[in-house]
Amino acid sequence: MGSKVLNIIVCIKQVPNIREARLDPGTGTMLRDAIPSIMNPDDKAALEAALRLKDSRGAHVTVLSMGPPQAETALREALAMGADEAFLLTDRAFAGSDTCATAYTIAAAIKVMKYDLIFTGRQAIDGDTAQVGPQIAEHLQIANISYAEKITVQADAVIVTSRLDNCSYVVKAKMPCLITTLSELNEPRYMTPGGVFEAYREEIKKITRRNLDADSKRLGQKGSPTHIAQTCAKSAKTTGIVADHLNSQEAAEYLLEKLREQLIIS
């Protein structure tokens, strides 16, 4: 192998398997306990990318998650897939974090760790903002390359092929840098029985408010400029009116009539 062993940190979010999500009719918030949680799909691809670099050239793979105690399950799955070390950022002080507070808190934890590469998913399937990765890079003052569909390491640089809509482009950056990954990047490996056994013997290190060097005003709900007022199930749309038998002039008049009928226009 000869080349320097890379230190790779992978940020993993435990998310509700939203395909099975149910909302609390009273508060409109997601009934998180009622639905199974999974490792965010883009993050699983990020972890697989890190493990392939470990297999091909040697790397120490650390996984980190911020969440309630039950987020440990996603970290144990990552250990069973082959990660070397796991950290859970968990404290009531971190609850209610929006993307600003989440990125600030994760960056504060990573700041004191060794890293050449940081992998995050492009986006989480619940919050869906795709904001945390680039914000972490900003806090750490390192380059950020998004939407990776191919990652190669060459000496002290990384070469990434990124995909945006229907075009790909190649970016080269010096390490350390942060890369956000697409779930299409690869086919993640399965946990091995031996890996599962080992994973349940591995200690998951906890990072709490007390052992995090951070400004309390920037943590949790207090540090979140964005508050989720309400989430609600999208009401099923009624079928539209098809008027393809009319020519464009007639169709325009017909539309105006309908809009007036519905008091949308006067």
Ligand X SMILES: Cc1cc2nc3c(=O)[nH]c(=O)nc-3n(C[C@H](O)[C@H](O)[C@H](O)COP(=O)(O)OP(=O)(O)OC[C@H]3O[C@@H](n4cnc5c(N)ncnc54)[C@H](O)[C@@H]3O)c2cc1C
Among 73, 131, 202, 209, binds ligand X (CB under 6 A): 131
Among 21, 35, 130, 191, binds ligand X (CB under 6 A): 130
Report if residue 132 touches ligand X, rule: CB under 6 A: yes
By CB under 6 A, how many residues form the interface with ligand X? 29
Cα separation values, 38 from 12, 102, 116, 162, Å: 10, 19, 27, 25
Report if residue 186 touches ligand X, rule: CB under 6 A: no
In 3D, which of 206, 204, 14, 212 has the Cα closest to residue 110? 212
Among 231, 250, 259, 260, binds ligand X (CB under 6 A): 231
What residue number has its CB nearest to ligand X?
Answer: 127
- The answer to whether the beta carbons of residues 75 and 19 sit under 8 Å apart is no
Looking up tokens 């209610």 gives: 96
Report if residue 126 touches ligand X, rule: CB under 6 A: yes
Residue closer to ligand X by CB (options 37, 102) is 102
Catalogue the E-assigned strands of the chain.
6-11, 14-16, 37-39, 59-66, 85-89, 117-121, 143-154, 157-164, 167-174, 177-181, 205-207
Report if residue 121 touches ligand X, rule: CB under 6 A: yes
What's the angle, vertex CA 65, arms to CA 62 and CA 70, rounded to 5? Answer: 125
Q: Which of the 8 DSSP states describes residue 23? A: B
Residue closer to ligand X by CB (options 4, 163) is 163
Q: How far is the CB of 118 from ligand X (least distance, A)?
A: 9
Length of the chain: 266
Report if residue 9 touches ligand X, rule: CB under 6 A: no
Among 4, 35, 127, 254, binds ligand X (CB under 6 A): 127
Among 13, 44, 54, 76, binds ligand X (CB under 6 A): 13
Among 8, 59, 66, 109, binds ligand X (CB under 6 A): 66
CA distance 99 to 105: 10
Buried b (16+ CB within 10 A) or exposed e, 177-206: bbbbbbbebbebeebeeebeeebeeeebee
How many C-beta atoms surround the C-beta of residue 169 within 10 A?
10
Q: How far is the CB of 183 from ligand X (least distance, A)?
A: 10
**Contact string 26-65 vs ligand X (x = CB under 6 A):** --------------x-xx---------------------x
Q: In the complex, which residues of this chain contact ligand X (CB under 6 A)?
A: 11-13, 40, 42-43, 65-67, 97-99, 102, 106, 120-121, 123-124, 126-133, 226, 228, 231
